[in-house]
Structure 1
Amino acid sequence: MSGVDPKRLEEEWAEDLKVLQSLAENGDRAELVRPVDVSFTGTREAIDRLEFDAEDLAFVPIDREVDEDGAITLFLEREQPADAASIKSLTATCLEIEAKYGVEYDGWGCVAETGLSN
């Protein structure tokens, strides 16, 4: 992994494990593919560049928000399972994006998938 601080990856992974545990407690079947969203905050220029490149990075832009201080958050999404290996790979990719684009990775999220109809 180029440009990723191993300590930062370890810290993010510790948080990821908490989310994965919560999903499991809600009946999640981690192997099921579902939309997983990630978010990044940065300057307008950095966010514009990331949004432009999102498809090449295997993401689809889904939303953009500006807070009261003018910070811009870009939400991206991709379809994938939420098993440990897939999420660890996602986090590593997002930390690489953070380093390459000069943005701040704010984490990921998804809905628990039980495989049952709602």
Structure 2
Amino acid sequence: MTLPEVSPERLAEEWAADKDVLQSLAENGDVAHLVRLIDVSFRGSEAALDRLEESAEELGFEVIEREEDEEDGEISLFLGCEQAADAAAIKALTLKCLQIELLYDVEYDGWGCTAEDGTGQNGQD
């Protein structure tokens, strides 16, 4: 599967937000190179999310859940992958998610994970 090219402006916009999340993780004692579950979310029509869910494994993700927002009825699909949360790994993940956004006609809504300090106290070491 060939993923489409993302505009540099769109990537820069997401990367600016990613850097804030990475800084927050670091302030909470995160050891960025530790591999953990990173979740990503996409919003879109049910048909578009169905197509993405069917391709999740091929794209390197596992399906976590689908959720409907009680206020606006928007549907979100949460996918996960095991990886580190260092800057290079997150930038590559964000690029891939923006490519998925274009390919599947969905809206990438960001990523998240727990801070991992290597002591096993944060639930996913």
Q: TM-score range by the shorter chain?
A: over 0.9
- Contact 2:43–2:77 (8 Å) recurs in 1: yes
- Amino acid paired to 1:18: D
Correspondence for 1:65 among 64, 67, 76: 67
Aligned-pair Cα RMSD in Å: 1.1
Is the aligned partner of 1:77 residue 2:80? yes
- Report deviation, 1:72: 1.1
Correspondence for 1:34 among 15, 33, 36: 36
CA–CA distance in structure 1, aligned partners of residues 23 and 106 of structure 2: 27
Paired residue total: 118
1:46 maps to which residue?
48
1:96 maps to which residue?
99
1:110 maps to which residue?
113
Identity %: 63
Q: Secondary structure at the match of 2:40?
A: strand
- Contact 2:4–2:103 (8 Å) recurs in 1: no
Q: Secondary structure at the match of 2:50?
A: helix
Q: Secondary structure at the match of 1:3?
A: coil
- Structure 1 segments, 4+ long, off by >2 Å, are 67-70
Q: Which has the higher helix share?
A: 1
Q: Give deviations 1:37-95, integer Å, cap 9, x for gaps.
A: 00000000000000010000000010101124332100000000000000000000000
CA–CA distance in structure 2, aligned partners of residues 3 and 47 of structure 1: 20
CA–CA distance in structure 2, aligned partners of residues 35 and 73 of structure 1: 18
